[in-house]
């Protein structure tokens, strides 16, 4: 929400899209209304990219010696991933420190970014692959619902 307050044009854009979908007379955006709102989803994904729920995932142990990116990770070493830093990598993201929801729309440079890690890992706010948070879909739905209602109520 702070990113929307600091970016009034983005906030206005999402507000306009919400009211176009729900109409001006509705008091609350329903859970059904948030489906099929790609810009709302883009705002939520960009928020998660910039501010993941946790800055680390659960640590893992290397089961055998392995080399990753030219570094030796010895068997038994504890490995952790800095989730927030992955989303700030300038090799993966254009202008990574800026709040740009358009990057998650069909014509954006991050279209198709998969938060589950099945198509590659560019961001992982809920972990990835086998160890992904089981509440991912629940969380995404409620984040979209929450953001839509907050923007509608407090534009």
The continuous run of DSSP H or E covering 21 comes out as helix 8-22
**154: Cα separation from own chain's centroid:** 22
- Residue environment code for 81-116, b if the CB has 16+ CB neighbours within 10 A, otherwise e: bebbebbeeeeebeebeebbbbbbeeebebeebebe
- Whether 133 has a binding-site annotation, put simply, is yes
> Residue 72: beta bridge partners?
67
At what angle are helices 136-154 and 8-22 packed, to 10 degrees?
A: 100
Task: Indicate the Cα dihedral angle 1, 107, 132, 122, nearest 10°.
Answer: -100
Output the known binding site for heme: 133
Output the known binding site: 133
């Amino acid at each position: 929400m702070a990113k929307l307050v600091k970016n009034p044009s983005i906030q206005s854009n999402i507000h306009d899209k919400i009211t176009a979908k729900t109409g001006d007379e509705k008091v609350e955006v329903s859970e059904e209304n948030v489906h099929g709102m790609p810009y709302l989803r883009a705002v939520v994904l960009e928020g998660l990219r910039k501010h993941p729920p946790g800055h680390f995932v659960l640590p893992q142990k290397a089961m055998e010696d392995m080399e990753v990116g030219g570094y030796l990770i010895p068997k038994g070493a504890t490995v952790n991933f800095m989730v927030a830093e992955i989303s700030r990598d300038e090799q993966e993201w254009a202008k990574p420190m800026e709040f740009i929801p358009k990057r998650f729309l069909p014509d954006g440079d991050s279209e198709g970014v998969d938060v589950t890690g099945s198509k590659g890992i560019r961001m992982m706010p809920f972990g990835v692959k086998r160890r992904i948070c089981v509440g991912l879909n629940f969380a995404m739905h409620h984040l979209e619902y929450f953001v839509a209602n907050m923007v509608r109520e407090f534009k």
